[in-house]
A = this chain, B = another copy of it.
């Protein structure tokens, strides 16, 4: 998404002068020195609970065009921009986490594209690959352009164009206003 500056916002850290890598290095360095903690602003995996691996894989492979780096009968991993996306049988995830889970969960994932026209065309591809439109693409109050598609397991994907955020050739995304 893109944010307009509201009256009482606080930008707490300047956008990186050079790169997201430099930003994370700077943050981790400072924090680690101050408190002696593992302060890396890092998420290693996003794991989505799924019920049918073949159906899920079709959505990600034919919709987004992504290739797993690993899969077996209960899980597929996709190497993303600095972290891993996992799609795992929900029962296994529930057993691992030691609690039951429900849908649709209070979260969304976003994939940003490089141009406004790319939003609708990617949403169309995702629907062809088994997705379901939650909200057709339009311009949100905070700027840019976006729509939502649910994957076959009802997980929400925001497909967005946000000219204020940069995405480099490696897919690394940096905050901007």
Residues of chain A having any CB pair with chain B under 8 Å: 1, 3, 6, 8-13, 15-16, 20-21, 23-25, 27-28, 31, 35, 37-49, 64-73, 75, 77-86, 90, 93, 96-114, 118, 122, 125, 134-135, 140, 148, 153, 155-156, 158, 160, 162, 165, 167, 169-175, 177
Contact = CB atoms under 8 A, between A and B. Distances in A.
Contact of A37 (B21, B79, B125, B175): B125
Nearest to A174: B79
B113 A38 contact: yes
A44 B165 CA distance: 9
A98 B111 CA distance: 18
Given A10-B72, A65-B35, A68-B13, A43 B104 contact: no
Contacts of A72: 3, 6, 8-10
A168 to B, nearest CB: 9
A79 B118 contact: no
A79 B13 contact: yes
A12 B70 contact: yes
Given A11-B70, A78-B41, A99-B134, A108 B93 contact: yes
B167 A49 contact: no
A49 to B, nearest CB: 3
Contacts of A71: 9-10, 12
Given A10-B72, A21-B172, A42-B81, 6 more contacts: A24-B79, A38-B113, A38-B114, A42-B173, A69-B175, A96-B158
A83 B97 CA distance: 25
Contacts of A134: 97-99
A111 B43 CA distance: 5
A79 to B, nearest CB: 5
